[in-house]
Each structure stands twice: as structure tokens, then as C-alpha cells.
Structure 1
Amino acid sequence: MKVAGIHLTSIGDVLTEDKTVEQVKKINPEKNMYKKLFIKEGRLVGAIFLGDAKNVHEIGMLMEKKPDVTRYKEKILEADFDVKGLLK
């Protein structure tokens, strides 16, 4: 989906009010980029990507396969992080 010409992807549970869901964000205003992951008990349960759709498919696969991402949660949204490596 595009909003005002910017790609927007929302997958999983992004409207939760569950206090046990951790939110990890990466924001870059210069690149019109905003990313947010929703993590519960070490598993990805939702994600929002605005302006940058890189790794959206892989993030969806992580949500489906449910690996523990606790030790990578701060790195997953970095441009050079190998998200596919977590799917192996």
C-alpha cells in the first residue's frame, strides 16, 4: 500500500495494548523511513514498515516460524542485518 506516495506495510498484531509486547523502532526522517517491530515473549507478533519495504517478506516468515529473536531484536531492522539467516 502507498500513503502519500510512501510504501506502507503493516503485518500481524500492531494494534495491541498488551503491556507485555515490546516495541522496537527505527526512524530515519531524512529517508522518510519508520519501522517498528512488536515482540512478545521473544517472538515477532507484528511489524510496521513505512518508506522502506526491505525484508518485509522475511519478517513475515519470522512471524510465521516463531523463532526466538530476543538476542537480535535491536539488529533486525538494521539495513545490513541478515534476516534470512534467522530463518534457517
Structure 2
Amino acid sequence: MAREILILKRLNHPNVIKLQGLVTSKLYCNIHLVFEYMEHDLTGLLSDVTFTTPQNKCYMKQLLSGLDHCHARGVMHRDNKGSNLLVNNE
């Protein structure tokens, strides 16, 4: 987990979720990662919304831009799926 935290702190890109901080519990020996808030994930949106071609292109461009940023820094995301693609209301 320490490696993942260090990697997340290193990544700074508009299309990569930002790690805001850590919350620890000494009582339960837990560590919780705190990320910026996103209202939706892509899987949830697809069940309610039909995207236009320009929207699909925009989302794909953002996805590939974020992945390019990660790959350029030696980070490979191994769990790309709709529920891990987060979307805000903007």
C-alpha cells in the first residue's frame, strides 16, 4: 500500500484522480485513502445516459491522456474498467 500511495502522490494530471490525504485509525489499524470527490463512475452513467459521438470522443481523449501521463511515469493501471473511470458533473 505504501508503494501505491507514493505513486498516487507523484501523479499530477487533470485526468488522473488526486490523492487528497490519508486518514488513519490507531484503534483499528486502518488506513483510508482520501481522493477528490467525483459524482459518478462511467458504468453508472451508461445505465442512465446515452452519450453523443462528441462526448464519447471527449471521454476517450481524457482516458488516453490520463493513461499516457501514467505510462510516461512508469505506472501501469492494471484495473481499467468503467467503474474505475470517474466523472464529475462538470
Higher helix share: 2
> Normalising by structure 1, what TM-score?
0.27
Q: Which has the higher contact order (CA 8 A, sep 6+)?
A: 2
Larger Rg: 2
> Normalising by structure 2, what TM-score?
0.27
